[in-house]
DNA sequence: AATGAAAGCCCCGCTAC
DNA sequence: GTAGCGGGGCTTTCATT
């Protein structure tokens, strides 16, 4: 994981569909070297995949929220079952399993506030294992590029 | 935005680097048609880009957390300035501007718990405009594919 | 909108250095 | 790690329907 690898990771985060040739040109290295690096990064699990970034408003999900919730009884089984159940709901974009005041945090996206209300009241409140939740409506989201390793004396 | 467009969006979310030809084969349409659809989706802003999915542990960020914080005084200016300041911190992966009990939620990734502590104490607590925060350490994250539009009687 | 043909570009294994 | 080569596959445009 040297400077070149970090740069490859950074560039592929910004644009995952650029060709290997273009990537190599930007980095000033031979395409074969570049391809080898990308394959090695993939093999080592640094690059896990490539995903299209989809506009949620364009898919009729203009309203997003973070929903922090607590489950009871608090056990591995209940956490996992709740996680799997909510992951099947179309409104749920991603799920964090956390520790702190909350047990799960859901990132949800829905058409409008009426549907958010329906999701909370009909989708979550009815589940006995969900003891409580708190909703924060999202106004903006900013994504940061993960630049490289944080400073690390080793390696 | 018909059934075919939804399927393209779904497939590119799963694997953004598959070739246009492969995409067309899966959908049972001609490559030129498929390309035209993808371009139209991009032009209309449905597809916003393509990003490599990078393993945070591989980049020496094994510890992730959600940090919910409040700013004071609560004004557009202070929210925006805080958002921009924290977005420059290497530890911050993404930022949500929200309403509810909190004003901002940060997704952070750091090497270990010592660095998390340092980030909170040295990075956040020192800022006068940050009135308080609450930290939830992340154990797992599950990403859901956004399948398509949610049901919408129009269109 | 969708298609097929065609020209050009890219990928990638191979080779040699 | 770099450079060049070549077959096969892919991208992309365009006339046609």
Q: Is A77 on the interface with B (CB under 8 A)?
A: no
Statement to judge: residues B34 and B66 lie in one domain? no
pLDDT at B22: 94
Statement to judge: residues B26 and B92 lie in one domain? no
Q: In angstroms, rounded to a whole number, what is the distance separating the alpha carbons of residues B153 and B155?
A: 7
User: Is residue A153 situated within a structural domain?
Assistant: no
pLDDT 10s digits, B14-32: 999 999 999 999 999 999 9
Q: Is the CB of B19 under 7 A from strand C?
A: no
For residue A128, the distance in angstroms to the closest alpha carbon of chain B comes to 22
Q: In angstroms, rounded to a whole number, what is the distance separating the alpha carbons of residues B35 and B80?
A: 39
pLDDT 10s digits, A86-123: 999 999 999 999 999 999 999 999 999 999 999 999 99
Q: How many domains does chain B have?
A: 2
Please check whether residue A62 is in contact with residue A72, taking contact to mean a CB–CB distance below 8 angstroms.
no
Q: In angstroms, rounded to a whole number, what is the distance separating the alpha carbons of residues A145 and A121?
A: 36
Query: A153 pLDDT band (50/70/90 cuts)?
Result: very low
| Neighbour-count burial of B108, counting CB atoms closer than 10 A to its CB (0-12 exposed, 13-18 middle, 19+ buried) | buried
User: Is residue B52 situated within a structural domain?
Assistant: no
Q: What is the CATH number of the domain that holds B104?
A: 3.30.70.920
More confident residue, A150 or B76: B76
Task: Name the average pLDDT for chain A.
Answer: 93
Distance B45 CA to D7 C1' (A): 38
Count of Cβ atoms closer than 10 Å to residue B87 Cβ: 14
| Neighbour-count burial of B154, counting CB atoms closer than 10 A to its CB (0-12 exposed, 13-18 middle, 19+ buried) | exposed
Strands A92-99 and A104-110: antiparallel
Q: Is B76 on the interface with A (CB under 8 A)?
A: no
Q: In angstroms, rounded to a whole number, what is the distance separating the alpha carbons of residues B65 and B139?
A: 9
Statement to judge: residues B31 and B100 lie in one domain? no
Q: Where are the alpha helices (DSSP H) in A2-155?
A: 3-14, 20-27, 31-43, 76-87, 113-118
What domain range includes position A90?
57-138
Q: Which residues contact B16 (CB under 8 A, 6 or more apart)?
A: A16, A17, A49, A50, A51, A52, B50, B51
Statement to judge: residues B63 and B129 lie in one domain? yes
Statement to judge: residues A65 and A35 lie in one domain? no
Q: Is the CB of A20 under 7 A from strand C?
A: yes
Statement to judge: residues A133 and A78 lie in one domain? yes
pLDDT at A154: 44
Query: A152 pLDDT band (50/70/90 cuts)?
Result: low
pLDDT 10s digits, B43-101: 999 999 999 999 999 999 999 999 999 999 999 999 999 999 999 999 999 999 999 99
Q: Do A101 and B140 touch (CB under 8 A)?
A: no
Q: In chain B, pLDDT over 70 holds for what percent of residues?
A: 95
User: Is residue B72 situated within a structural domain?
Assistant: yes
Q: Do A53 and B51 touch (CB under 8 A)?
A: yes
Please check whether residue A40 is in contact with residue A4, taking contact to mean a CB–CB distance below 8 angstroms.
no
Q: Do A17 and B13 touch (CB under 8 A)?
A: no
User: Is residue B114 situated within a structural domain?
Assistant: yes
Q: In angstroms, rounded to a whole number, what is the distance separating the alpha carbons of residues B41 and B8?
A: 9
Statement to judge: residues A15 and A73 lie in one domain? no
Q: What is the CATH number of the domain that holds A37?
A: 1.10.10.10
pLDDT 10s digits, A53-74: 999 999 999 999 999 999 999 9
Q: In angstroms, rounded to a whole number, what is the distance separating the alpha carbons of residues A146 and B54?
A: 8
Statement to judge: residues A96 and A133 lie in one domain? yes
Chain A interface mutation, best of B7, B54, B154, highest count of A Cβ atoms under 10 Å? B54
Statement to judge: residues B70 and B131 lie in one domain? yes
Q: Given the structure tokens 């590119």, which residue do they identify?
A: B12
Q: Nearest 10 degrees: CA dihedral of B16, A11, A24, A39?
A: -60
Q: Residue B5: how many CA atoms within 13 Å on its side-chain side?
A: 17
Q: In angstroms, rounded to a whole number, what is the distance separating the alpha carbons of residues A111 and B5?
A: 19
User: Is residue A123 situated within a structural domain?
Assistant: yes
User: Is residue B62 situated within a structural domain?
Assistant: yes
User: Is residue A144 situated within a structural domain?
Assistant: no
pLDDT 10s digits, A2-50: 889 999 999 999 999 999 999 999 999 999 999 999 999 999 999 999 9
User: Is residue A51 situated within a structural domain?
Assistant: no
Statement to judge: residues B131 and B71 lie in one domain? yes
Average pLDDT over residues B140-146: 95
Q: Is the pLDDT of residue B155 over 50?
A: no
Q: Which of residues 87-146 of A touch B (CB under 8 A)?
A: 87, 90-102, 105, 109-111, 115, 134-144, 146
pLDDT at B107: 98
- Following DSSP, what letter does each residue of B29-46 receive, concatenated? S-HHHHHHHHHHHHHTTS
């Amino acid at each position: 994981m040297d400077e070149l690898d970090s740069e490859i990771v950074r560039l592929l985060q910004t644009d995952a569909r650029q060709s290997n040739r273009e990537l190599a040109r930007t980095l000033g290295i031979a395409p074969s070297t570049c391809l080898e690096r990308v394959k090695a990064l993939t093999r080592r699990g640094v690059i896990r995949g490539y995903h299209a970034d989809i506009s949620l408003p364009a898919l009729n999900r203009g309203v997003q929220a973070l929903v922090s919730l607590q489950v009871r009884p608090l056990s591995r089984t209940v956490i996992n079952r709740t996680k799997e159940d909510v992951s099947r709901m179309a409104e749920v974009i991603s799920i964090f399993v956390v520790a702190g005041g909350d047990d799960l945090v859901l990132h949800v996206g829905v058409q409008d506030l009426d549907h958010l209300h329906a999701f909370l009241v009909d989708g979550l409140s009815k589940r006995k294992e969900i003891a409580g939740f708190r909703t924060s409506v999202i106004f903006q989201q900013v994504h940061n590029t993960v630049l490289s390793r944080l400073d690390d004396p080793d390696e």
